[in-house]
Amino acid sequence: MTNFSWTKQWYPITPISYLESSHPTPITLLGKKLVIWRDKHQKWVAMNDICPHKLAQLSKGSINKNGDLMCRHHGWCFDETGKCTNIPMLSDKKALETACNSERSQIKTYPTQVLQELLWIWADNSPTAFEDSTSKQPVVMPEYQLDNSATDWFMSEVPIGYTVSLESSFDPSHAQFLHEGIAGFSPERAIPMEHFEVLEEISAETGFTLKHSGYNIFNQDMDAMRNFTPPCSNTTIYKYYDGKLALFQLYFVPTKPGYCKHIGKFIITDTPPQKRKFWFGLLPKYLQTGLKHSSSYKLSNQDLSIMHSQLVNESVGDRTWQKSYFMPSVADVGIVTFRKWLDEFAGGKPAWQGITEAPFQELSDEQLYDRWHRHTKYCPSCRQSLVLIDKIKDFCLNFTVVLSISALLLIIINLPTRIVLLPVLLAILNLICFYKLDLFRARFISSIPKKGLPVVELHEK
């Protein structure tokens, strides 16, 4: 039975902080290539990323002085409704009006709205899409006695599909084993989950709610609720007996076959402020954020390694998950429940729009642990950090040249050795700084080490 519509849904496509209003941004949703841009009314517009003239990507264009989206190829312009407003190569007013009013020059647009600092897109573009979108509200993070603004949204697009990504979020017990060495996780601290149950019936539109007990010696006294609201929300709330609360809001947005956007934030009550070194507070805000992001990949790398290995094995043969998975434990209830929802109501997988799902391709480590395409290219803070690092690198290199020339001149005019040594030593320090910055820059590009063996160390040895 399939009665869940994948397109008539609101999807959180990106945090607003990841967008720049000065130029259009390409995104992909359910296989559709879309372009996002902000119009003259300061509203975000989503439309098909294709110019009706010669099929160029509009996301490669610009916002003109009238606040319309202009194609980079031949300058065709479009307003927030998708109507063509100008064709520069048409000088005759009547011909221009006829062409701009033609259905062939129009671009399909999609309903959008901003809630909780996220841009939401209604994935349907039928004639009744804007009317239909008012009948349903996006699945936002609950207030629930917590300050939702205390932490920022984090987004990455991983080379792991929607199904395995979301399935993993209903499998809490894996943390003790897969994430050993991070946040106190350890196999020695794992305890069997005493209960994991489905509350009420699962449904196509409202999904399901799970309740479960703890899975390690630190959270054994908690009650947890995990709520899946289709198409992509997992809201998890941990309640501890001492009154402390923790909330995980995760979204898993199916972008294209084999890829999924992960958007989330984690909030916990009574969290002591992190002590930062004095110098850290002196850095630009974007660099502080970039440094935090660049140091947080280890946990997600561990997830990617296991999920990708699972997909490799799933691709061999044509067995269903019921025949492939062996699920004897209470801890497996979340996985089974999500898979049942997907099979019974949603056709077993996302309904891709206009594309055919290709056979699974195993990824190399360079592809799997790539950071640029996964996060950095989307994140303004990480991109700005890269630009700053490159500027400092250039300065170090240029200053080294100046110091070397200075040292040579001092030798020529026969000054004492101790004076000549000063620019030489400074030049050496600059070269060391350049080398260290180059290694640091690589942390924004890939998890593959730039020196030593090109092997990603996922766990301490």
d(CA 206, CA 197): 17
Q: Which residue has the tokens 């200075």?
A: 406
Q: What is the pLDDT of residue 270?
A: 66
Q: What is the pLDDT of residue 318?
A: 84
Q: What is the pLDDT of residue 3?
A: 85
> Within a domain: residue 428?
yes
Tens digit of each residue's pLDDT (9 = 90 or more) over 141-191: 987 666 667 789 999 999 999 999 999 999 999 999 999 989 889 999 999
Q: State the average pLDDT over residues 61-83.
A: 96
Give the domain-ending residue among 354, 371, 402. 354
Q: State the average pLDDT over residues 271-277.
A: 63
Tens digit of each residue's pLDDT (9 = 90 or more) over 88-100: 999 999 999 999 9
Q: What is the pLDDT of residue 275?
A: 65
> Within a domain: residue 344?
yes
Give the domain-ending residue among 86, 102, 135. 135
Instruction: Look at the chain and report how many structural domains it folds into.
Output: 3
Residues 345 and 211 in one domain: yes
Residues 21 and 155 in one domain: no
| Whether the predicted pLDDT of 399 surpasses 60 | yes
Q: State the average pLDDT over residues 416-426.
A: 88
- Token pair in block for residue 166: 């979301």
Strand spans (E) along 240-302: 245-256, 259-268
Residues 127 and 210 in one domain: no
Give the domain-ending residue among 135, 157, 181. 135
Residues 68 and 166 in one domain: no
Tens digit of each residue's pLDDT (9 = 90 or more) over 7-23: 999 999 999 999 999 99
Q: What's the pLDDT band for 43 if we cut at 50, 70, 90?
A: very high
> Within a domain: residue 291?
no
| Whether the predicted pLDDT of 1 surpasses 60 | no
- Token pair in block for residue 267: 């909030």
Q: What's the pLDDT band for 206 if we cut at 50, 70, 90?
A: very high
Coil, strand or helix at 386: helix
**What CATH number did the domain enclosing 182 receive?**
3.30.530
Among 446, 460, 450, residue whose Cα is nearest residue 365: 446
Share of the chain above pLDDT 70, in %: 97
Range of the domain at 173: 148-284+319-354
Residues 347 and 417 in one domain: no
Q: What's the pLDDT band for 280 if we cut at 50, 70, 90?
A: confident
| Residue 129 and residue 122 in contact, taking contact as beta carbons nearer than 8 Å | yes
Select the more confidently predicted residue: 345 or 277.
345
> Worst-scoring range by mean pLDDT, 119-123, 203-207, 314-318?
314-318
Residues 386 and 349 in one domain: no
Q: Which residue has the tokens 């979340």?
A: 334
Residues 93 and 46 in one domain: yes
pTM of the predicted protein model: 0.93
Q: What is the pLDDT of residue 183?
A: 85
Q: What is the pLDDT of residue 372?
A: 97
| Residue 420 and residue 407 in contact, taking contact as beta carbons nearer than 8 Å | yes
Among 430, 407, 431, 428, residue whose Cα is nearest residue 419: 407
CA dist list (Å): 112 to 13, 30, 127, 131: 10, 16, 15, 12
> Within a domain: residue 293?
no
Residues 340 and 206 in one domain: yes
Q: Where are the alpha helices (DSSP H) in 169-296?
A: 175-178, 278-282, 285-294
Q: To 10 degrees, what angle do helices 380-412 and 285-294 make?
A: 100
d(CA 391, CA 430): 13
Tens digit of each residue's pLDDT (9 = 90 or more) over 329-381: 999 999 999 999 999 999 999 999 989 898 999 999 999 999 999 999 999 99
> Within a domain: residue 327?
yes
d(CA 285, CA 9): 35
Q: State the average pLDDT over residues 238-254.
A: 92
CA dist list (Å): 363 to 20, 35, 256, 369: 31, 28, 16, 10
| Residue 444 and residue 372 in contact, taking contact as beta carbons nearer than 8 Å | yes
Residues 180 and 265 in one domain: yes
Residues 71 and 200 in one domain: no
Q: What is the pLDDT of residue 274?
A: 61
Q: State the average pLDDT over residues 409-438.
A: 90
Sequence-distant (6+) residues with CB within 8 A of 268 are 244, 245, 246, 247
Q: What is the pLDDT of residue 185?
A: 92
| Residue 160 and residue 304 in contact, taking contact as beta carbons nearer than 8 Å | yes
> Within a domain: residue 188?
yes
Residues 259 and 176 in one domain: yes
**What CATH number did the domain enclosing 41 receive?**
2.102.10.10
Residues 261 and 384 in one domain: no
Q: What's the pLDDT band for 439 if we cut at 50, 70, 90?
A: very high
d(CA 369, CA 382): 17
> Within a domain: residue 303?
no
> Within a domain: residue 448?
no
End-to-end CA distance of the chain: give it in Å, rounded: 48
Average pLDDT, the chain: 93
Select the more confidently predicted residue: 6 or 274.
6
